[in-house]
């Protein structure tokens, strides 16, 4: 797709029904992101997300898809301690979860881990820029690569990931110009989120674009629907009909044959 100049569309999904809908809409890459910690599980960051939680959601997404390529996020501390632990956990994502590849954060510092996974037959997507698992180190959710030194480091990190065998790189919250330079420098696809339009593709969090996550809307996100309002209104309507005895009606009820009811009444 990169060679053809065809933009790559990627979107998150975290469960069976949304995965089915995202694939039905024609999205070729689905990311089961550790962002589920915030938009599904209610954590204040991605840090608390565990391997077991990720596997639970990866399995559900895989069951809901037939054609899309499923990328599983490696959660915090599932790959940082050692390359062997990373290999074991990444293997679980494919063997138990059913994903086709994994995504992990970091550049040069994780290059050897990436190489080990790829050599073991596990495709790896990289992730540079604002890497949410490092927010405590960054001091919050801030744009990365704003200084010359930081920009050069990110460029070198991208090259290191490509050389290690990564098949694509997510660029999150980096200046548009830097994302463009990285995209031109590496032969593998770049997928942006808050990285401008010059990346080879784009990824967004499903709950942001559909208006399902109402705590806040990141600057890089565009809301294509406001399903939170739709859901709230639907639930209010249901509650009102129950209170006013307008639901259920005969249409939503099951009726016993009168002869059976009569016989039951006599027996009772």
Confidence category of residue 133, pLDDT binned at 50, 70, 90? confident
The pLDDT assigned to 36 comes to 97
| Rounded Cα gap, residues 153 and 106, in angstroms | 11
% of residues, the chain, pLDDT over 90: 88
Average pLDDT, the chain: 95
Per-residue pLDDT tens for 70-96? 999 999 999 999 999 999 999 999 999
Contacts of 10 (CB under 8 A, 6+ apart): 27, 28, 29, 30, 31, 71, 191, 201, 202, 203
pLDDT tens column, 10-57: 999 999 999 999 999 999 999 999 999 999 999 999 999 999 999 999
What confidence category does residue 145 fall into, taking pLDDT thresholds of 50, 70 and 90? Answer: confident
Q: What are the tens digits of pLDDT across the range 219-242?
A: 999 999 999 999 999 999 999 999
Residue 143 has a pLDDT of 79
**Active-site pick, 162, 172, 233, 252:** 172
Residue 214 — very low, low, confident or very high, per pLDDT cuts 50/70/90?
confident
- What pLDDT does 107 receive? 97
172 is known as an active-site residue = yes
166 band by pLDDT with thresholds 50, 70 and 90 = very high
The pTM for the full model equals 0.93
Q: Which domains does the chain have, with CATH numbers?
A: 8-225 (3.20.20.60), 230-267 (no CATH)
Residue range 195-211: mean pLDDT, rounded = 97
């Amino acid at each position: 797709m990169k060679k053809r100049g065809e933009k790559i569309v990627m979107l998150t999904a975290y469960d069976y029904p949304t995965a089915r809908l995202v694939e039905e809409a024609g999205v070729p890459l689905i990311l089961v992101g550790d962002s589920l910690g915030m938009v599904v599980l209610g954590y204040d960051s991605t840090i608390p997300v565990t391997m077991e939680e990720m596997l639970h959601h990866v399995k559900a997404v895989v069951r809901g898809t037939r054609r899309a390529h499923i990328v599983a996020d490696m959660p915090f501390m599932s790959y940082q301690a050692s390359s062997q632990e990373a290999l074991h956990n990444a293997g679980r994502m494919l063997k138990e979860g059913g994903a086709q590849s994994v995504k992990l954060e970091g550049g040069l510092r994780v290059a050897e881990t990436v190489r080990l996974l790829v050599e073991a037959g596990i495709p790896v997507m990289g992730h540079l820029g604002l890497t949410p698992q490092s927010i405590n180190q960054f001091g919050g959710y801030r744009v990365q690569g704003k200084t010359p030194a930081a920009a050069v480091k990110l460029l070198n990190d991208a090259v290191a990931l490509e050389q290690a065998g990564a098949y694509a790189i997510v660029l999150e919250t980096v200046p548009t110009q830097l994302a463009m330079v990285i995209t031109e420098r590496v032969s593998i696809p770049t997928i942006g989120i808050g990285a401008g339009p010059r990346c080879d593709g784009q990824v967004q969090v499903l709950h942001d674009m559909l208006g399902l996550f109402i705590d806040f809307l990141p600057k890089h996100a565009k809301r294509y629907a406001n399903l939170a309002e739709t859901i709230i209104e639907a639930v209010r309507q249901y509650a009102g009909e129950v209170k006013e005895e307008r639901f259920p009606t005969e249409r939503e009820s099951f009726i016993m044959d009168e002869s059976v009811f009569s016989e039951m009444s006599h027996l009772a």
